[in-house]
Each structure stands twice: as structure tokens, then as C-alpha cells.
Amino acid sequence: MKLLFIHGWGTTNTDSYGELPQAIVQQLTEHQVSVDIQHVFLGRYISFHDEVTMDDIARALERALIDLPGNSEGHIAPFSCITHSTGGPVVRYWVNKYYGRNGLSQLPLKHLVMLAPANHGSSLAKLGKARVGRIKAWVSGVEPGVGVLNWLSLGSEGQWDLNSQYLDYNYEGKNFYPFVLTGQGIDNQFYDFLNSYLIESGSDGVIRVAGANMNYRFITLKQDKNEKLRNRPLTCAMKGESIQISPRIPLGVYPQYSHVGKKMGIMQSIQADDSGELVGDIVKCLLVEDANQYSACEQYLSGITSNHQKDKDRYCMLVFNVCDDTGVSINKDDYDLFLLAGKQYQPHHLPSGFLKDKQMNDLTSRLVYYVDANKMKNIKDGQFGIRVVARPDKGFSYYAAAEFRSDGIKAEDVLQPNQTIYINIVMHRFVDKNVFRFGKAGGTPVNFKKEKPSGEHL
């Protein structure tokens, strides 16, 4: 077995892998899997320069793979890969760029074991380059690179695009087996009293379980201009147009591990002679050879996750994208979004303490909610909804308020614990017929400078 390790963002030394490579080799050897230490390669890539983007790193990864012993242009020998943090989406980006869902039959990567991957970003990225650069839990001794930081910000364009394309991947059918193993422990030695994200519930101090999990869904809600819920203010219903659920990916959650650190870090705390649960589970993943074993591994990891999270709050992330039916995104300053509950669909009927965090991505105008999925199970009357008020709300071109009502759909059927839910909201853009009119030629000229909306829309 050829085994590659790929580190996370901001790393400048391969000692970040700790003794995990030795522990994995030792365990594989005990399972009579031939792993030549020469075939264990420690990746190193540049992520701390502003000009470097995820696409740049993926292109460089392709070249680095070609340059490995035994590989050449047009031929990359089969390998398995263990990643940490940003290394996970880096490899997924590379897979999508060079193979995609239609080229998985030629993919040389067989196992992708992602440790605490930032598949749906990190809440810390919002803090900005200078601030994040000072947080020991994220990076030590270097300034972070803006190019990668933008990709990691919650609600980024890169995450939306990459995860939407992975919805159609057929993993087992193409002998490609990805896994996510992530911590849910907090190492207080990294705590910055000015930043609560480092001790955030449902995370490892950097990455939320919901932000790591490769089980997620995309939902599209579209406003129906012809179904009015109320006249003042004009409010039209939103209906579910589509829901896409990602293929099942094994997820293991371990409360004893944090993101980094020699004491609790999911990589750095592992000793060469470690034969504990995490190392054993990584090896289980690497030993999967077919669809049946992959399914069995998924069930096993699901079981230990349920056991580890027993009696603990579980969370989910909601990523809202608001656009209109012409394809134009509505700017962050031009809409307000509310979650609703109860038969009357009102914000004040939501469970107390359900909302843990809210972030706006300034580049994409996407709004990200982090909510307590356990509390949302007990939502009033079992009804939940979403209201969007967009601007302009009057004039020649405008938006009516939009409202989605669950009407019997259970909250837990949408707000899945440990998952990220991407919600694309499509508003109808009302255009008054007086935006463009014709008049008779000849006669007295008509001054239409003070023309007013007719009240009739197209």
C-alpha cells in the first residue's frame, strides 16, 4: 500500500503529523498489510501566501503526485491518503478537477481518510487574516494566506461549488472510499478569551462536526408569485422545488480529540505505539476493499458516533443563498431572513437557545446559521418555516416577502444533526409593466419623467 499524508492550512513543518504515520504503519503491518516505509510520503504545500488559491494547490498536488517514485506523466499508481483539516478539501478539489464524477474509474486514489476536514469551512476564517494568524490553535508562527482563507470562510463560493458537484459522486461503484473522522473535544490551552469559537460546542475548537461531515444536503425553495399568504405586507409562498442528498459517507466522532495540539490533537497527540480506538478505526477504513465492507464501516462508525454523542447536544449548519429568478444574488444588505415556528409561523415561537451562531459571508452575501438540532426537534407545534424580506420592496422593480411553511414536514427531516444544509432561496422579481411602454407616433411629445408604477406586474 502506498500511503500519503497531507496536512492542513498554515502548516510549515511536517512534524505536524506527529507520530501518526508510524502508528498507522505499525497497525497495518499487524494486519499483514505490506506498507513499505518508503511508500509513506508526508505532503507539504504552501498555504500561507496570499496569492495561493485552492486551485493553485490542486494543480501543484497533481504535479507532486506525478513526481513521486513510480509515477509519470499519464500514470499515477494507486494510493491511499490521510489528510488533516484543509488537506481534506484540497484532495477533494484535486479529485474533482482532474477526474470528476465521470472520471472516477480512472482515479488512482482508493481511500481518503479525512481527519477533522474543513469540508464546509471554519467559523474562525471570518475573523480575518491578522486575527486568525494570532490564534495558536489554527496556525503557529506564520500569517495565513488570504486566497485559502476566503475558501475556508463559511458560505464561500468554493464550498458551494465543490459540494454541489459531489452530490452525484458514485463512490462504492468506482472503488473510491472516503471517510470523515473528527474530534469534538476542546483543549483549553488554546483558548483565546476574546474568541468563543475556540471552545464552541459541537466542534474541535476549529472545525464543527457539521462542517466536517460529508453527509449534507442541498435544498431549493422557490417563491410562487401567484400564491399570496397575505396582502400587507405582500407575502408570497415559497415551495420546495428540489432536495438533493449527498451519498452516505462514513462519519466517526471522537469527543476526546481536539483539532491540534500534542495533548489532544487528532494527529499530534498520537504516539507511535498507539493502538487505541482512533488509530484502529483509521486502519479499518484503509482495509475497506468493496461496497459491502464500506457499508459495514459506515454502520460501525455511525454506532460509535451515536454512543459518543449520547446525551450531548448536536448541531447543524444552515447555509442560505438568496437570489432572484433572473439569477442575480441579492446583496447581504438587501435582505433579512427569519426562522419561524408554530402554527402561526412566528420567530418568537422558536425554542429558547436554539441559535448558537450567525455569520454573514461578505464576499458571497450568504448567511450561515449554527443551530442546536436537538432543541429544534421540540419546535412548537412541530411546524417550522423561513421568511425572507428583500429590498427594494416597492417601485418599478421590487420583491415581495417570501415565506416557506413546513406544513407537517418534521424539523429533524431537514435539520439533520451533525450536517450542513445548503438552502438556495429563489425570489421572484416583480417588474411593473410601466417600465417599458409604447405610445402613438406624432402629435404632442409626451414627458414620462414622472411616470409612476401602474401596480400591474409582468
What digits encode the pLDDT tens for the residues 276-327?
Answer: 999 999 999 999 999 999 999 999 999 999 999 998 889 999 999 999 999 9
CATH 2.60.40 fits 315-433, yes or no: yes
Closest CA to 122 of 156, 81, 147: 156
pLDDT of residue 46: 47
CATH (residue range 3-214+249-308): 3.40.50
What is the pLDDT confidence band of residue 139, given thresholds at 50, 70 and 90?
very low
Do 287 and 342 contact (CB within 8 A), yes or no? Answer: no
User: Which residue from 249, 241, 230, 262 is spatially nearest to 288, judged by alpha carbons?
Assistant: 249
Distance from C-alpha of 234 to C-alpha of 458, rounded to nearest angstrom:
16
Specify the pLDDT at position 412: 74
- Name the segment(s) of the chain with CATH classification 2.60.40: 315-433
* Ordered DSSP codes for 45-112: ---SSTT--HHHHHHHHHHHHHTSTT-BTTB---EEEEEETTHHHHHHHHHHHHTTTTSGGG--EEEE
Asked whether the predicted pLDDT for residue 142 surpasses 50, the reply is: no
- Where does the chain hold its CATH 3.40.50 domain(s)? 3-214+249-308
- The per-residue pLDDT for range 31-46, each reduced to its tens digit, is 988 876 545 554 454 4
Q: Tell me the whole-structure pTM to 2 decimals.
A: 0.92
Per-residue pLDDT of 192-216, as tens digits, reads 666 788 889 999 999 999 999 999 9
